Amino acid sequence: MQGFKRYGSVLALGAVCALGACGKSDAAADSAAAPATAMTPDSSATGMTGTPADSANAANAAGAPAGGAMSAANIAAMIGLTNGTEIQAAKVAQDKATNGDVKSFAKQMITEHQAMQKSLDSLTAAMNVTPQPPGTADQKKQAGEQMIATLNSTAKGAAFDKAYIDGQVQAHQQALNDLQGFSASAPDAQLKSLIDAAIPKVQAHLDKAQQLQSKLGGS
């Protein structure tokens, strides 16, 4: 998650999942995937409670700009936060998930969100834009850190599989909502094009997460 290196330290899924941290409405992070060195959530965070889904809901409010449209630098930063969270959460799932389909989904999240971030990093470099998180980014970062902390504290096995997937449904719904909003307000045509290309990928992530959630017994 190398997109995160641009503006900060360790973060947190999607969305964006959620990009770190998707659903069927507004925009966020899933659209730019990054190398695993981007600003990822601190998986060693302590003192945090709640489910991954609760964390995704907390990030919901954080995705909206606080008083007007965001700049290209703001949008890039928010997308990077989502990608970072998604990658970090998926790495925890790769280690702790026991369901084969869940493990496969987590692997896909790492690969695709890293690719999204790499595309975003290339674009911002070409535009000479340095990602700059808006004021709402702190809430999004904290929500991502809480998601990772919760996953780390959840026992390995069926309970973890369900917690991870429930959180992924919430995170990707939010990431999708964010991306749609960013597409509508993007101040640059190239950035809008990148976001628009990411939206169907995030939608596919959400659809897959919802299918897995149904197999695991609902939300």
Backbone angles phi, psi at 11, to 5 degrees: -115, -120
Burial (CB < 10 A; 0-12, 13-18, 19+), residue 54, is middle
The tokens 């960013």 sit on which residue?
A: 182
Q: Does domain 2-216 have CATH number 1.20.1260.10?
A: yes
Residue 66 has pLDDT above 50, yes or no: no
pLDDT digits (tens, 9 = 90+) for 68-82: 578 999 999 999 999
Cβ distance 18 to 86 under 8 Å?
Answer: yes
Per-residue pLDDT of 81-134, as tens digits, reads 999 999 999 999 999 999 999 999 999 999 999 999 999 999 999 999 999 999
C-beta atoms surrounding 126 within 10 Å: 9
| Closest to 202 (Cα-Cα) out of 62, 6, 17 | 17
Rg of the chain's alpha carbons, rounded to an integer?
15
- Helix, strand, or coil here: 16? coil
Domain coordinates in residue numbering, the chain: 2-216
User: How would residue 149 be classed by pLDDT, with cut points 50, 70 and 90?
Assistant: very high
Mean pLDDT of all residues belonging to the chain: 77
Mean pLDDT along residues 206-213: 97
pLDDT tens readout for residues 48-59 = 334 554 444 443
What is the per-residue pLDDT across 9-29, written as a single tens digit (0 to 9) for each?
333 333 333 333 333 334 333
CB neighbour class for 207 (10 Å; exposed up to 12, middle 13-18, buried from 19): middle
**Which residues lie closer than 8 Å to 165 by C-beta, 6 or more apart?**
102, 105, 209, 212, 213, 216
Q: What is the pLDDT of residue 211?
A: 97
User: Is the dihedral angle over the CA atoms 216, 88, 2, 62 positive or is it negative?
Assistant: positive
Residues 204, 83: Cα–Cα separation, whole Å: 15
Rounded CA-CA distance 86/41 in Å is 9
Res 136: pLDDT = 82
pLDDT of 217: 84
